[in-house]
Chains A and B, each alone.
Chain A
Amino acid sequence: MNSQVATEASRPRIRRSARSIAVLAIGPTVVLAGLIWALAQPYRITLLHPHEQGFWWLFVQPPVWVMLVGLFFHAFVAPGILADLEEAER
C-alpha cells in the first residue's frame, strides 16, 4: 500500500524553438572562437606579458575583445530577444 499522498512534482521542461536555440548559441560560439584564438596565439594577449608594452598593445587585445563581444551579446542582447521571441511564438 502506498502511503505517500503527494507525488513529487517534476519541473516543467522548457521546450525551446530552433530559433531560440540558434540565438542562444551565438554568444557562446563567439566566445569559443575568441578562446580558441587566445590559445592558438597567446602572444596576442599582451596582458600576459605586459612589460615594455605601449598603451595600444595593452589596450587592444583582439582575442579578448572577440570574447567580450560574445559575452556582451549573450548577457545583454540575447535574453531580451528570447523573451520577445517566446512571447511572439505563444
Chain B
Amino acid sequence: MILAVVPPSEHVHWMFATGVLLMGVCLLAQAIVGEEVWNRRAWRRYLWPSLIFVLGLFMWPVMTFFTNSTAHMLAHGSWAQVLMFAGAAQLGLASGKLHSHYWRLTIPLALVVSGAAFLLHEQNGWLYSRSTFIHHLCGWTLIVGAIFPLALTFRPRSLPLGVGYAATLILLSVVLYTARDVAPILGHLSPEAGTPHR
C-alpha cells in the first residue's frame, strides 16, 4: 500500500528540481534588477525564502520514506533542518524581524550541508550508475557554489556574485532533472545497479 503512495526516487528528484529551478530564476531576476527593486513588493520579498522553507519541509517525507540506511536518514534529516533554518532566517530578514546581515550566512551553510548530504549518503563511486554520478555532481556543485552566497553576504549588490548564485541553483536543477533510478552514465553501469530503463 505504502509503495503505491511513495513516488519513484527519480520523481522525487524531478519535483525538487522544479522547486530549485523556480528559486533559481527568481534569484536570477533579483540579481539583475537588484535587491532594492526586488524588495519593493512585500510578497516578492517572501517568495524565494518561502521556497527554501517549503523544500525543507518536503525533505521530511523524503527522510521518512526513503530511509535505506542510517546514513540516508541522517543526511535527509539534517538537510531538512538546515533548509528550514535557512528559509526561516531569510523570512525573518524579509519581515524585518531579523536585522543582522550575518543571517545571510545561513544560505551558504544550507548549501554546504546539502552538498555534504548528497555526498555522504552516496556510497558508490562516480561511474557506478547515473544516479550516483548525479549525487556526486550535485554535492560538489553545492559545496563549490556556496562561495557565491558566502561572498554575497559581504557584497550583496554584486551582479556577478548574484548571477553566480542563481546559476548554481539552475545548474543544480538541470542535473537533478537528469536523475534516473537505474541508467548508465557515460557508458558505465555497474551490473549490481539493476536493469536500466529510460
Interface of B is mostly: helix
Chain B: number of interface residues, binned into ranges: 20 to 34
Task: Return chain A residues, CB-CB under 8 Å to B175.
Answer: none
Residues 23-53 of chain A: 1 if any B CB is under 8 Å from the residue's CB, otherwise 0? Answer: 1001100100000000000010000000000
Residues 141-178 of chain B: 1 if any A CB is under 8 Å from the residue's CB, otherwise 0? Answer: 00000000000000000000000000000000000010
Taking a contact as CB atoms under 8 Å apart, the answer to whether A69 and B18 are in contact is: yes
Taking a contact as CB atoms under 8 Å apart, the answer to whether A77 and B29 are in contact is: yes
State how many angstroms separate the Cβ of B51 from the closest Cβ of chain A: 11
Tell me the bound Cα distance from A1 to B73 in angstroms.
Answer: 88
Q: Which of A62, A77, A80, A88 is in CB contact (< 8 Å) with B17? A: A62
Taking a contact as CB atoms under 8 Å apart, the answer to whether B33 and A19 are in contact is: yes
Q: Which residues of B approach A to under 8 Å, CB–CB?
A: 4, 7-8, 11, 14-15, 17-18, 21-22, 25-26, 28-29, 32-33, 36-38, 40-41, 44, 47, 177, 198
Known contacts A62-B177, A66-B177, A81 near B33 by CB under 8 Å: yes
Taking a contact as CB atoms under 8 Å apart, the answer to whether B26 and A22 are in contact is: no
Q: Of residues B4, B32, B36, B38, which shows the largest number of chain A Cβ atoms within 10 Å of its Cβ?
A: B32
Taking a contact as CB atoms under 8 Å apart, the answer to whether A80 and B28 are in contact is: no
State how many angstroms separate the Cβ of B41 from the closest Cβ of chain A: 6
State how many angstroms separate the Cβ of B122 from the closest Cβ of chain A: 21
Which residues of chain A from 38 to 79 have any CB-CB distance to chain B below 8 Å in the complex?
43, 54-57, 60, 62, 65-66, 69-70, 72-73, 77-78
Known contacts A30-B21, A77-B44, A80-B41, A62 near B36 by CB under 8 Å: no
Task: Return chain A residues, CB-CB under 8 Å to B33.
Answer: 19, 23, 81, 84-85
Taking a contact as CB atoms under 8 Å apart, the answer to whether A88 and B44 are in contact is: no
Known contacts A19-B33, A60-B15, A62-B14, A69 near B44 by CB under 8 Å: no
Q: Which of A22, A27, A60, A77 is in CB contact (< 8 Å) with B47? A: A77
Tell me the bound Cα distance from A23 to B28 in angstroms.
Answer: 8
Q: Of residues B21, B26, B38, which shows the largest number of chain A Cβ atoms within 10 Å of its Cβ?
A: B21
Q: Of residues B4, B15, B177, which shows the largest number of chain A Cβ atoms within 10 Å of its Cβ?
A: B177
Q: Mind listing 10 A-B residue pairs with CB under 8 Å?
A: A27-B25, A60-B11, A69-B21, A73-B25, A73-B29, A77-B26, A80-B41, A81-B33, A88-B36, A88-B40
Taking a contact as CB atoms under 8 Å apart, the answer to whether B29 and A81 are in contact is: yes
Task: Return chain A residues, CB-CB under 8 Å to B40.
Answer: 84, 88
Task: Return chain A residues, CB-CB under 8 Å to B7.
Answer: 56, 60
Tell me the bound Cα distance from A43 to B197 in angstroms.
Answer: 12
